[in-house]
Amino acid sequence: MRVVGPGLSATAMDADERELADRRGSPRARLRLRLAIVYPQSEGRPSRPIYHGATHDICMSGMSMVAEDNAFHEGRVSVFLALPPAHGWAAQKVIRATVEMTYAIHSSKLNGYKIGMTFVEFQEDGEELLRAALERERRKADENQSQRASARWPLSNPVLSQ
């Protein structure tokens, strides 16, 4: 174990431990959403600190982000997620949720800190908005995959390629 910062330590994990550490109950999507994290008010600061970034991946139970600096905060923070419009004419929707930051690891591959968060509570219709956005993303990925498969099909079919 090594000390990373005040009150933070890190332990190296092998590949089996990393697999077991993924406790997400739903499939994740590689969906980049703009986000703002609003930290709790701390004594001696005139305003609440805010971090702006983007998600790395997201699912109904949580998300991760990559940041140049370690933006980890032990405990709960507020998160605002900007969803892409469902249609070109639609207004952009923003999800507000309370999350608990669960981990922060430095990744040389991602050139920054990967920070994991678990959703604790959604405000208003945030949960339904996220579910709909993830479903749209899944359908889009399925369509792209079937288009790629149909484009390759004649070339890989031995009857047609003779």
The rounded distance, in Å, linking the Cα atoms of 124 and 38 is 18
The rounded distance, in Å, linking the Cα atoms of 88 and 62 is 27
Residue 113 in domain:
yes
pLDDT of residue 5: 47
Q: What is the pLDDT of residues 92-151, one digit of tens each?
A: 899 999 999 999 999 999 899 999 999 999 999 999 999 999 998 888 888 877 777 666
DSSP track, 15-48: HHHHHHH---SS--B----EEEEEPPP-TT-SS-
The rounded distance, in Å, linking the Cα atoms of 59 and 118 is 10
Residue 10 in domain:
no
Q: What is the mean pLDDT of the chain?
A: 81
pLDDT of residue 45: 77
pLDDT of residue 17: 46
Residue 18 in domain:
no
* Closest of 101, 120, 97 to residue 8, by C-alpha: 101
Query: pLDDT above 70 covers what percent of the chain?
Result: 76
pLDDT of residue 20: 41
Residue 15 in domain:
no
pLDDT of residue 93: 94
CATH number at residue 40: 2.40.10.220
Residue 52 in domain:
yes
Residue 4 in domain:
no
> What token pair was written down for 45?
């600061």
Q: What is the pLDDT of residues 31-40, one digit of tens each?
A: 899 999 999 9
**Domain total for the chain?**
1
* Closest of 8, 5, 159, 152 to residue 75, by C-alpha: 8
> What token pair was written down for 11?
């332990």
Residue 33 in domain:
yes
The domain in which residue 37 lies consists of: 29-148
Residue 13 in domain:
no
Question: Could you tell me which residue, 8 or 48, shows the higher pLDDT?
Answer: 48
